[in-house]
Structure 1
Amino acid sequence: MSDPKELAATWLNHLAVERGLSPNTLSNYRRDIDRYLDWLAAAGVTDLNRVQVTDLEAYVADLRRGDPERGRAPLAPSSTGRALVVARGLHRFGVAEGALAVDVAVDVSPPSTGRHLPDTLSIGEVEALLESVPTGETATAVDLRDRALLELLYGTGARISEVTSLDVDDLVGCEGLLRITGKGDKERIVPVGAAALEASNDYLVRARPVFANGKSHAALLNTRGGSLSRQSAWAALKSRAERAGVTKNISPHTLRHSYATHLLEGGADVRVVQELLGHSSVTTTQIYTHVTAENLRQVWASSHPRA
């Protein structure tokens, strides 16, 4: 079986059933596979056994170059690298299944991305962001929901999809320890502080009943009573950041990065932070040690008389 679409469908089913990849990850894989197969078809390749190393190298080059005539913007090195990982995964699966004779993709390297240090907020910027959302008597239901959302994101370091997938039962009676379901349905327990608990309880008592229509068990709801989507949560964060005067380009992951960085700066062990973030490898977490080292370098450069 070397028909590209048939093999791709089999692989995606394998990733969903055997590997337990999340729907979001599978959606990203499907997008990258479709892009790869469309490119092969345009190049006249209809049998994956006929793909050559030069084809994959040309594919990577085209992704980086883009196609303005077709409205395709150039992809960043990181996005191109992810697209290549998916193409390589498809070829590797084909060989393992006996559908392909040779894995021609194994030696094709992604473009260099350099070392990217994640954007973070200072503790002062995080406090400004959180405190800009009202919680008093004049606070609206949306205010209380957004405050709970932001406190949970920063207070637990969870991904946006992990927070929006929380049920009411996850928050009620959690006693300072929250069960998070992450990538691949892997569960982890993370501490949740007093500020996040207070904001969550305030929202559940005063605001959630305003939105609830009895059809959703999700903790965080939209104004129609459905589960708050990742896109709506992102929009809420961006809006609150603008009101707080935070000028950095902020995303839900920025709060996750800030959570990790502030823990390490406070003396937390990198392996503890690894567990809290749900990283399978400590190597992924170590990017934050580079961030704190960079902060030290900046302080030294601005303060030392011989810098």
Structure 2
Amino acid sequence: MTGGARTTRATHEALPPAMREAVDDFADHLARVRNRSAHTVRAYVGDLVSLLDHAVRMGCSEPSELDLTVLRSWLARQRTVGAARTSLARRAAAARTFSAWAHRTGVLSTDVAAPLSSPRAHRDLPTVLRADQAAALVEAAGQSPAPVRPADPTGSTDDTPGDAVPPTVPPGDPDPVRLRDRVLLELLYGTGVRVSEACGLDVADIDHGRRVVRVLGKGGRERSVPYGVPAQRAIDDWLRSGRPAVAVPGSGDALLLGTRGGRLNPTTARRIVAGYAESLGLPRVSPHGLRHSAATHLLEGGADLRAVQELLGHSSLGSTQIYTHVSVERLRAAYRQAHPRA
């Protein structure tokens, strides 16, 4: 357990009984009814525990005693201790979500956080590769041996089902690691899926006839994303010559496998992307950087913003609109560099 998690649990246990019960019921609502990820539940619960702890310090003993003054005081305190604008925005959202739920369930007589405003989070423009850089990165796995990547500091390699060992590749046979890496890179850039979504794919999620992949995204939302001919070739090679070489009885239906036969985990996938980028002398890039690049290149190629929203699995169009800013900035840079009147 991390230090932050231990602190949250200790603070939770120190709350008055009615407040502890409200926290537990809210967490159950997020996980079971709203189907939020474990990461989101932890973040919102941590924010709520912090809010209620602040309320106790202001003299409250039950959730029903919360009011807008307490909420604003809590956010002001967070800002005083140096919380970033993004953190303040998330904490305000957590407070509004809790307040709305508490009002619906009778814990609060009114939705006290409804008028609560939050600072607009500053959004940095994501790192985006040029189209030629992205192509070079994706094709790197098919042209050279897999680069040596630093070990996971936790000591983990892959989510392994047993004591399988890395495959031994006979001379002249294709390297299954490079075949796997090529599929990973093709999917990350060719479809724009999140790294967790790519690692969560099963073999049955690939529709070879229509060249689409079925993706289970955030909130359990499912979507179908098309992929191109290069990705299809990479998938075919992997399924024919790569995956059988590393699969073990415990591999299950996972599409992408680690060298010991377990489902490839996102941490390993991030090291794979970083390793190839470093070997090519490219800017430091992550799987999410490839997702950013895919979205930007789609928009620059004339794709409709709502189509890109659907491909990326964004629930809000506002999340997709940041890529229009990226394209504008790239246009500005090209203008400044090339136009004589810039």
- TM bin (shorter chain): 0.7 to 0.9
CA distance in 1, matches of 2:328, 2:44: 34
Alpha-carbon offset, residue 36 of structure 1: 4.2
- Match of residue 131 from structure 1: 139
Q: Tell me the SS of whatever aligns to 1:301.
A: helix
Q: Does 1:276 align with 2:311?
A: yes
Deviations along 1:28-77, whole A, 9 cap, x unmatched?
434444454455566665422233434333433444454xxxxxxx5432
Structure 1 window deviating more from structure 2 (277-286 vs 186-195): it is 277-286
Segment drifting more, 91-100 vs 239-248: 239-248
> Which position in structure 1 is the counterpart of 2:231?
196
Aligned letter for 1:226? G
Deviates more, 1:34-43 or 1:1-10: 34-43
Q: Which moved more, 1:254-263 or 1:222-231?
A: 222-231
More divergent stretch after superposition (124-133 vs 137-146): 137-146
Q: How does 1:248-263 map to 2 (within 5 A)?
A: 248=284, 250-263=285-298
Q: Is the 8 A contact 1:135 1:147 kept in 2?
A: no
Give the greater-gyration-radius structure (CA): 2
Q: Where does residue 165 of structure 2 map in the other structure?
A: none
SS at match of 1:286: helix
Give the one of 196, 200, 205 matched to 2:240.
Answer: 205
186, 200, 204: which one aligns with 1:151: 186
Residue 120 of structure 1 aligns with an amino acid whose one-letter code is V
Percent of matched pairs sharing the same residue: 42
Deviations 1:277-299 (A, max 9, x none): 12233332222112212222222
Does structure 1 residue 19 correspond to structure 2 residue 42? no
Relative to the length of structure 2, the TM-score reads 0.77
The 3-state SS of whatever aligns with 1:233 is helix
Q: Which amino acid aligns with 1:205?
A: R
- Which of 281, 287, 291 is the equivalent residue of 2:322? 287
**AA paired with 1:15?**
L
- Compared CA separation, residues 167 and 294, structure 1 to 2 (3 A): same
Q: Deviations over 1:160-179 (max 9, x none)?
A: 12111110112363541111
1:29 to 29, 37, 44: 44
Residue of structure 2 equivalent to 1:179: 214
- 2: CA distance, partners of 1:254 / 1:178: 20
SS in 2 for 1:150: helix
Distance 1:25 1:85 in 2: 12
SS in 1 for 2:223: strand
CA 204–25 in structure 1, closer or farther in 2 if over 3 Å, else same: farther
Q: Using the alignment, how far apart are the partners of 2:315 and 2:230 within structure 1?
A: 28
- State the partner residue of 1:69: none
Deviation above 6 Å: which 4+ runs of structure 1?
A: none
Q: Give the C-alpha shift of residue 189 in structure 1.
A: 1.5
Q: Which moved more, 1:212-221 or 1:253-262?
A: 212-221
Q: Do the aligned partners of residues 88 and 145 (structure 1) sit closer, same or farther apart at CA in structure 2, a change above 3 Å counting?
A: same
Q: Is the 8 A contact 1:8 1:90 kept in 2?
A: no
Query: Is 1:265–2:300 an aligned residue pair?
Result: yes
